[in-house]
Amino acid sequence: MNRPLDGILVLEFAQYLAGPYAGLRLADLGARVIKIERPGTGDACRQLATKNLFVDGDSLVFHTINRNKESFAANLKDPKDLELVKRLIAKADVMTHNFRPGVMEKIGLDYESVSALNPRIVYGEVTGYGKEGPWRAKPGQDLLVQALSGLTWLTGNADDPPVPFGLAAADMICGTHLAQGILAALAARERTGRGSLVEVSLLESVLDLQFEVLTTHFNDGGQLPRRARYRNAHAYLGAPYGIYETKDGYIAIAMGSLTRLGELIGLPSLAEFDKDPADRFDKRNEIKLALAAQFKTRTTAEWLAVLEPADYWCADVFDYPRLLAHEGYRVLGMEQEVRRPNGATVRTLRCPIRIDGQRLYSDVAAPVLGNANQTLNEEPSDA
């Protein structure tokens, strides 16, 4: 199929996750994404393992986030290699990097210098905390940003210590924002003929992720988040919102009338907490304790058989094996296998976006370091 970004050339100087995540999404949408990597070692993510898993010499996480790309190995401190890179920049549509502030200026590949080479280029830049302020040189790392942003006080129960997300939430949302900014700048270029500088930071992205709760904080007199003492699922929402243990598993209960929930599960006393809307939050610990005791008396399937026909918002709580075996997952067709020329394969997920009803699959694996050097050196400089 023709993809929206067919013909767009992206040069990715970014490492680890946030910048490469944006490149992954652009590649899924049809762009040709070329990673510019150090000779010999390449992107440091090639050796950043999750669960010590490697495939064909590179970490599984590198394969996950760099599929469908090419690699050009170049030493940016070598004048000859730098000149080759500038030739690529001159014909590129997009360039991204996530070096700390000041690094690209020293190399001569900052936005002003690159824009002089190619006024149409969209230049995407990821930092940890922006280019100003006391944190500008601090390592832009996911856990550190979660810690500084206040995010870790939203998960877990009231008596728990700060709890981070169990995945790289800062990197993923920041990469999404970078891709959004790049796409907007490409659309603007169609009108103006000129590129743009797109800047995102891990901290700003994680702050935006909290826009709902920070807006509450701005307007409630500056009160701190109050996690529920039991079954907390959202620090700013009242009962029954949470996950509860059943006789044989767990059930998730979202928003809904407490009176109706009490009627359905045999707990009529819940109606008392619907008389004053404030009670749903202020007395949520008391409510959740009552719910927890009641939900333990029957199996998850029994509760679902009562709640789902009544259209009360609820769900079973799956682990990965149950999810992957369920038709609700299988019908999405989310999985694909990517392959290197030597036969090494990785089972992974496809792009979650559909275009004109079509799912976006690609079987191209993450690149071997420098796999495009010969091809790119042979291409005409004005291609």
Q: Which residues are catalytic?
A: 234
Residue 230's φ and ψ, nearest 5 degrees, are: -130, 135
Strands (E), 64-222: 70-73, 94-97, 122-127, 197-201
Q: Which two tokens stand for residue 132?
A: 């100003």
Could you tell me which residues are beta bridge partners of residue 48?
none
Q: Which two tokens stand for residue 176?
A: 């999404």
CB atoms within 10 A of CB 107: 15
Peptide bond into 240 cis (omega under 30): yes
Residue matched to tokens 């990469």: 175
Cα(319)–Cα(243) distance, rounded to whole angstroms?
14
> How would DSSP label each residue in 263-302?
HHHT-GGGGGGGSSTTHHHHTHHHHHHHHHHHHTTS-HHH
CB atoms within 10 A of CB 145: 28
Query: Each residue of 162-190: b (16+ CB within 10 Å) or e?
Result: ebbbeebbbbbbbbbbbbebbbebbeebe
Evaluate whether 299 touches 251 at the Cβ level (below 8 Å). Answer: no
What three-state secondary structure class fits 354? Answer: strand
Residue 200's φ and ψ, nearest 5 degrees, are: -135, 160
Cα(18)–Cα(152) distance, rounded to whole angstroms?
19
Q: Which two tokens stand for residue 98?
A: 């996530």
Evaluate whether 157 touches 228 at the Cβ level (below 8 Å). Answer: yes
